[in-house]
Amino acid sequence: MKPSRKKRIYVDTSVIGGCLDREFSAESQRLMALVRDGSFTMVISQIVPNELAAAPPRVRAVLESISPEHIEFADLNLDMMALRDAYLAAGVVGPRWKEDALHVAAASVTGVDAIVSWNFKHIVRLDHINGYNDVNESRGFRRLTIITPLEVIHAADDEEDGQKI
């Protein structure tokens, strides 16, 4: 049996900020610990540091605490912008939420295993997930798994218990 490759997960800003949020801190911090120990490769785009620029230093420190060897930086490109615009044109989200759509586009174009988010309004919501994936398929991209850190943690725990993910 060939060894499985390390999973690549696109992490949006809500997960990093979630490390210091009472409701989401336990799961967000556990996910960051899994990234730090090399269980996952965290993929981010320039959107994340841009959004964190206005955050308190404690929030920015979460991203800074991850070793660069466990982070893959996805440069924003024309394919991502075009896919974001396709999401907007399809009405998946409105223009006001173009950065959220760009997170999804960046995750889709880079071919990650999943995008991980706490953004229940514009990303982790069934109608939006279906809309993003309908656009992805119409433009030749594969369907994207969109989940919260909780699902990643459960999958990692199952793998530790010897269960196939």
Residues 6+ apart with CB under 8 A from 135: 83, 86, 87, 90, 92
Terminal CA-to-CA distance of the chain, rounded, Å? 15
Does residue 1 lie in a domain region? no
Number of folded domains in the chain? 1
The pair of structure tokens assigned to 20 is 């210091």
- Cα–Cα distances in angstroms (integers) from residue 145 to residues 49, 79, 139, in the given order: 23, 19, 17
pLDDT digits (tens, 9 = 90+) for 119-138: 999 999 999 999 999 999 99
Could you count the other beta carbons within 10 Å of the beta carbon of residue 58?
Answer: 9
Provide the residue range defining the domain that includes 80.
7-160
pLDDT digits (tens, 9 = 90+) for 81-129: 999 999 999 999 999 999 999 999 999 999 999 999 999 999 999 999 9
| CATH number assigned to the domain comprising residue 152 | 3.40.50.1010
